[in-house]
């Protein structure tokens, strides 16, 4: 198999960085961007200054303001972030057609495999992309080079908020071994709690477990975790503009039914199938849609957002069950059910549960 070279570009605290370009007075001030100004508003993004004071994404704004009283609170401007992502993409386009961007959060994966004769070694290409971003946009992005997306993404987290990192081919497992387990993309909060119960806090600790031992703890998710902690990730970098395909699974009932146990049991089996497919592709779902076809020919469709995105069967099922309750409003029996996971994205890394100190 041909050795790959993947660059990960990461503009730290992207939304804040964009807002600071718009208003220079925000530079070096503590900034929080919140979903709205309601009493239950949550943190969407924050500056490094706010992060150092204990503010985290998803935290209730009221709580965040207790940690950081002198901060500037701004509303979201999604259109600004979208335009900035387009400009970011343009800075990388001269070097590869294989560029995969996240959802307006300042992350790019760039596959530069086989471009050495044109542009030089991958670290040189990464440096040129960074230089173009600084000149054209005023950002100072973090960058890394590795043989796959997972290791490249972890590497940029190692040098945040400013820096660069190169992981050589064949060094992936050694690189991952000493790292805190929460840095691995796809490890979720429930996983961290489980690992903590067994005093497994480093990636190397988990890498020492066999597939069988992981299966006892995580069931169908054991294979993806086994590979992730070893820095194995065959998922491709998509071409510019290419969207991740939806994951869709169906179930036709042998006999039309409106029995809760039968319908919910079928839903869970669909969730398991979808979860396996997502994890094979190293993807997570941001939205779930359920389609019910009734015996009388009528169809009902409902959907909901999954926040944060996940490929965890239990979390997917919790959302799917709520969607099912919204779609299942008739007493007529159900003939067919479809579950679709869409708005797919590369899995995020998790915040640490506890301080290292």
pLDDT in tens, 135-146: 999 999 999 999
Tell whether 85 and 99 lie within a shared domain: yes
Tell whether 202 and 220 lie within a shared domain: yes
Query: With bands split at pLDDT 50, 70 and 90, how would you rate the model's confidence at 162?
Result: confident
In a domain, residue 238? The reply is: no
In a domain, residue 355? The reply is: no
Tell whether 268 and 318 lie within a shared domain: yes
pLDDT at 293 over 90: yes
Distances (CA, A) of 77 to 19, 21, 116, 141, 322: 9, 13, 38, 21, 29
How far apart CA 302 and CA 324 sit, in angstroms, is 8
How far apart CA 261 and CA 340 sit, in angstroms, is 21
In a domain, residue 305? The reply is: yes
CATH at residue 91: 3.30.70.270
pLDDT at 80 over 90: yes
Provide the 3-class DSSP secondary structure of residue 288: strand
pLDDT at 101: 86
In a domain, residue 239? The reply is: no
pLDDT at 355 over 50: no
In a domain, residue 234? The reply is: no
Q: What is the mean pLDDT of the chain?
A: 91
Burial 313-331 (b: 16+ CB within 10 A, else e): bebbbebbeebbeebbeee
pLDDT at 39: 59
Of 28, 49, 77, the last residue of a domain is 77
The parent domain of residue 258 ranges over 247-345
Tell whether 200 and 128 lie within a shared domain: no
Distances (CA, A) of 307 to 133, 285, 344: 30, 9, 12
pLDDT at 104: 72
pLDDT at 351: 58
Tell whether 200 and 211 lie within a shared domain: yes
Interval 302-348: pLDDT, tens? 999 998 889 999 999 999 999 999 999 998 999 999 999 998 988 87
pLDDT at 118 over 70: yes
Give one DSSP letter per residue of 51-100, joined into a string. HHTT--TT-BHHHHHHH-TTPEEEE--HHHHHHHHHHHHHHHGGG-S-EE
Q: Are 239 and 93 in contact (CB under 8 A)?
A: no
pLDDT at 30 over 80: yes
Tell whether 61 and 90 lie within a shared domain: no
Tell whether 318 and 270 lie within a shared domain: yes
How far apart CA 192 and CA 188 sit, in angstroms, is 6
Interval 193-238: pLDDT, tens? 999 999 999 999 999 999 999 999 998 889 999 999 999 999 999 8
Please, where are the H alpha helices in 148-188? 149-158, 172-176
Interval 253-280: pLDDT, tens? 999 999 999 999 999 999 999 999 999 9
pLDDT at 38: 60
Name the percent of the chain lying above pLDDT 90.
Answer: 74
Tell whether 73 and 23 lie within a shared domain: yes
In a domain, residue 144? The reply is: yes
Tell whether 181 and 211 lie within a shared domain: yes
In a domain, residue 354? The reply is: no
- For β-strands 142-146 and 72-75, DSSP reports them as unpaired
Greater model confidence, 248 or 58: 248
Give the sign of the dihedral formed by CA 166, CA 171, CA 176, CA 177.
Answer: negative
Over residues 48-69, the mean pLDDT reads 90
Tell whether 83 and 69 lie within a shared domain: no
pLDDT at 352 over 60: no
Of 157, 174, 191, the last residue of a domain is 174
Of 30, 57, 77, the last residue of a domain is 77
pLDDT at 273: 96
Over residues 150-166, the mean pLDDT reads 92
CATH at residue 328: 3.30.1490.100
Tell whether 68 and 85 lie within a shared domain: no
Name the percent of the chain lying above pLDDT 70.
Answer: 96
pLDDT at 356: 45
Provide the 3-class DSSP secondary structure of residue 201: coil
How far apart CA 224 and CA 235 sit, in angstroms, is 12
The two three-digit tokens of residue 284, written as one number: 């997570």
Q: Domains in the chain: how many in total?
A: 4
In a domain, residue 44? The reply is: yes
The two three-digit tokens of residue 332, written as one number: 């007529």
Tell whether 257 and 337 lie within a shared domain: yes
- Strands of the 99-101 sheet, one edge to the other: 99-101, 107-111, 6-10, 142-146, 164-166
Q: Are 349 and 182 in contact (CB under 8 A)?
A: yes
pLDDT at 178: 96
Name which of 207, 210, 256 is nearest 232 in CA terms: 207
CATH at residue 196: 1.10.150.20
The residue whose two tokens read 């000149």 is 135
Over residues 34-58, the mean pLDDT reads 84
CATH at residue 72: 3.40.1170.60
């Amino acid at each position: 198999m041909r050795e790959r070279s993947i660059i990960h570009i990461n503009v730290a605290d992207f939304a804040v960085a964009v807002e600071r370009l718009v208003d220079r007075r925000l530079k070096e001030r503590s900034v929080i961007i919140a979903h709205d100004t309601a009493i239950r508003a949550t943190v969407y993004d924050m500056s490094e200054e706010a992060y150092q004071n204990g503010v985290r994404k998803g935290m209730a704004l009221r709580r965040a303001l207790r940690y950081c009283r002198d901060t500037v609170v701004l509303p979201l401007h999604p259109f600004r972030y979208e335009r900035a992502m387009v400009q970011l993409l343009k800075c990388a386009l001269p070097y590869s057609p294989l560029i995969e961007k996240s959802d307006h959060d300042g992350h790019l994966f760039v596959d530069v495999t086989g471009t050495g004769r044109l542009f030089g070694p991958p670290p040189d290409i990464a440096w040129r992309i960074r230089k173009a971003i600084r000149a054209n946009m005023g950002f100072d992005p973090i960058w890394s080079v590795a043989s796959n997306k997972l290791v490249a993404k972890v590497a940029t987290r190692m040098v945040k908020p400013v820096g660069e990192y190169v992981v050589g081919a064949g060094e992936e497992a050694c690189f991952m071994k000493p790292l805190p387990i929460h840095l691995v993309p796809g490890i979720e909060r429930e996983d961290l709690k489980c690992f903590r119960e067994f005093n497994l806090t480093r990636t190397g600790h988990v890498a020492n477990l066999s597939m069988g031992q992981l299966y006892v703890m995580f069931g169908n998710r054991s294979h993806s975790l086994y590979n992730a902690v070893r820095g194995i990730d065959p998922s491709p970098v998509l071409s510019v503009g290419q969207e991740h395909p939806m994951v869709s699974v169906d179930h036709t009932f042998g006999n039309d039914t409106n029995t809760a146990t039968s319908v919910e049991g079928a839903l869970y089996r669909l969730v398991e199938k979808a979860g396996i497919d997502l994890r094979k592709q190293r993807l997570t779902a941001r939205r779930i849609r359920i389609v019910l076809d009734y015996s009388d020919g009528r169809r009902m469709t409902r959907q909901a957002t999954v926040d944060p995105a996940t490929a965890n069967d239990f979390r997917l099922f919790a959302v799917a069950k709520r969607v099912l309750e919204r779609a299942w409003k008739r007493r007529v029996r159900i003939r067919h059910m479809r579950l679709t996971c869409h708005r797919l994205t590369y899995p995020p890394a998790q915040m640490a549960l506890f301080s290292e100190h």
